[in-house]
Amino acid sequence: MNYRHEFHAGNHSEVFKHALLCALIDHLQLKPKPICVVDTHAGSGLYDLASPEAVRTGEADRGIRLVYPKRTRALQRYLGVVEHFNPDRLKLYPGSPAIIRHLLRGEDRLIACESEAAPAGRLRRVMDGDSRVAIHQRDGFAAVHAFVPPKERRGLVFLDPPFENPNELSLSVEALNSGIRKWPTGIFALWYPIKGRSQISKVKKPFVGDVPTFCAEFLANAKSEEGLTGSGMVIVNPPWQYDKDVHAICKALVPIFEQTGSGYSTEWWVRPR
């Protein structure tokens, strides 16, 4: 499928993905030592929900606009970040690099990679010369091998490809496996879209890691077999008790999408020893 952010900004899969991302960074920042986050497919960083692309799909209406008023405890952190970019009313949706940058502390760093020139240029404008942020116009899968382990030896690699090509899922898992071999103690998160039903088996089969790995899938449209029904996230070396946060976030999302048959599932591929 083609998952270009301009068309899908603020949809249900973005809500799920970014709520989990915020929780991951919060866990990493429980310790005072600096962290580095590598965002492999950063996009342009900030999206206008009134743009022709967003209006054409209308996916934000069935995503962030449903969730935004629901200030449950599990969603409060994520929705607070979205609110930062919308002090008056919901007009903009922050992509992963904007969310990460907002959460960075003084000594933390973000390495944001975007292969296409136009969105990379827009991302530079969004980041406004922030010295904590390095933007690279380069292939995101190759960036995993290039930038790990970071000098901080603490942090996260966030893989969020557009899935424009049929082989991108295999490329994602290859990059994930490569990163784990170089940085076996690092935290990695791989997001993937779901069309139809569960995709866990397709992602799990080529995965070769033997470090703690947790996978969660959220379906916002379980009654449908067509289109984007949900998405999943594989988290390698998840922080202690992070799985409880994932359950809390998913439980908070399920009733919001109950009319379309929402649900979620989780699975430990490799349990902590």
Res 225: pLDDT: 66
Beta strands in the chain (DSSP E): 36-39, 46-48, 92-94, 109-113, 133-136, 155-159, 187-195, 213-219, 228-236, 263-270
Residues linked to residue 189 through DSSP beta bridges, in sequence order: 158, 235
Instruction: Read off the pLDDT band of 201 (50, 70, 90).
Output: confident
Q: Is the pLDDT of residue 98 over 80?
A: yes
Place of tokens 């071999």: 181
Side by side, the strands of the sheet bearing 133-136 are 133-136, 109-113, 36-39, 155-159, 187-195, 228-236, 213-219, 263-270
Say which of 61, 88, 130, 160 is annotated catalytic.
Answer: 160
Domain residue limits, the chain: 5-194
Residues linked to residue 265 through DSSP beta bridges, in sequence order: 217
Least confident range of 48-52, 195-199, 264-268: 195-199
What CATH number belongs to 5-194? 3.40.50.150
Q: What is the mean pLDDT of residues 26-40?
A: 98
Return the structure tokens found at 56: 């054409």
Instruction: Read off the pLDDT band of 4 (50, 70, 90).
Output: low
Per DSSP bridges, beta strands 155-159 and 187-195 are parallel
Q: How many residues does the chain have?
A: 273
Decide if 210 is catalytic. no
In terms of phi and psi (left: phi > 0; alpha: psi -120 to 50; beta: otherwise), the region of 64 is: alpha
Q: Is the pLDDT of residue 209 over 80?
A: no
Dihedrals φ, ψ of 201, to 5°?
-65, -35
Res 8: pLDDT: 86
